[in-house]
Structure 1
Amino acid sequence: MSHTAHIRSHRKPRQSASKLALRAGVAGGVLSTIAVAASAGPANAEPVTETIEMPALSLGTTDLASAVALSAETNQQAALDLDLRVQENVAAQKAAKDAKKAQQEAERKAEAKEKAEAAARADAAAQDRASRSDERTTLSASGSGQSSSSNASGSVGTVIAFLKAQLGDAYVMGATGPNAWDCSSLVQAAYRQVGVDLPRVSQDQSLAGTPVSLDNLQVGDILYWGGAGSAYHTGVYIGDGQYLDAANPSKGVVIQDLSGYPASGAVRVL
């Protein structure tokens, strides 16, 4: 051992095996390249005697830490993106589920409302039928011996009021209201107001109730033109020698005098 070996300043710094290997590899590769180039030259060329030493390549600790940090950051960002997509999918599925539930609830409410309205209509119809039945019973019990003024103040008054409310409406064959009528549909609708169900056509209406003489007419009696059972027109006597009817397309619903168009007969239903 040299007598100066123990002196620290005379020692050469040690290099890691990886750095030495890397430097040797690079240098060897460069020298090999130079040697090949030299051998490829002219045969009489002078040999290369200059030695070129390449700088050593090294990967420092700082660069390695930066690379590791960049890789970790990339992985973290990928994980965040994946988590965001998962959350978006969950939110979309929840929104679709909530929308479906809301639609089902709306349909349920609509169905319940429709059922309630149908029940209300059925109840109203039942009450109307009961009311008409009670009025028919009252009319039957009152008999047919009431005076004209007494009838006019009761159910007959309702009939006449309904008829006068239709004055000016159009006459249309086969129409049944509310703004257009033919003769028999108007008479039928008027008596329906007091619970009396008359036949639809004039021929049958001329046979309804009790036949009465034209000299003994009372307000509310049904007048007909033509034979009983074969009548072609009907109207209602309103007193003072007048009647109300859906006359024809040119006149519509009007009040007329019996003297101008005398009836063939009459029947009494109230």
Structure 2
Amino acid sequence: MSHTAHIRSHRKPRRSASTIAMRAGVAGGVLSTLAVAGASGSANAAEPVTQTLELPTLTADLAAQIAQSADVTQQAAASYELQAERDAAAAQAAKKAEADLAEAKKKAAEDKRKAAEAARQAAAERASRSAERATLSASVDTGSSDGSGSSVGSSSSSSSATGSAAAVVSFVQSQVGDAYVSGGTGPNSWDCSGLVQAAFKQVNIDLPRVSQAQSTAGTQVGLDNLQPGDILYWGGAGSAYHVGVYVGDGMFVGAQNSSTGVVKASLSYDPPSGAVRVL
């Protein structure tokens, strides 16, 4: 027995003809498939594939709708802005109206206070005028003493006046107690020259309207030579600022001022500067 007889042979076993034929068929099928695929791949490589995307077409109607939508949006924004401006203006107007109302109330309160103060002052002035008139009347009624100790009273103030002078004296004395009003010409309120002019109209004598002219309307006379009916003036002749009428017995009548009104008083009460005689 050979010494290698127990070692297995390394030769591959022979395949049967059927197995070989089957494998050959499978291989042939695979090769034919690869051939077909290769041919198909070559054909596809020769003709590249183009892919087309369909986009929506922007029509005229769609463009008009977009434009209309933009207009609506713009109009809405403008409307909001206008409303905001109106609201701001209304708020500002309300604030100003409130401030104006407060100012009006403040002014009304101040006007009311001033009116009350004016009424109080007017009442005080009336009371003062009444007291002063009462004092003047008492002084006239009781008379004033001259250098000889004789008493001069109102009852004899016009005793020496006659004719036109008596009419002038009577008129001015009848106005005592009337109010003084600048520019007043009667019948119940006077200024100084208005009273003198009206008195001489009683005897058909037309005097100038103002004090300056009345102070030169007649013949200048001395204060120590006065007669009832003479015109007294205060200030210079031709530049007098006040006039009155001498009524006799050292007394005169004149529309003095708004505090006293028309008074009858002694020459010493308010000494005149000079006198003129018209009658």
TM-score with structure 1 setting the length = 0.44
Structure with greater Cα Rg: 2
TM-score, length-scaled by structure 2: 0.43
Query: Relative contact order, CA 8 A, sep 6+: which one is greater?
Result: 2
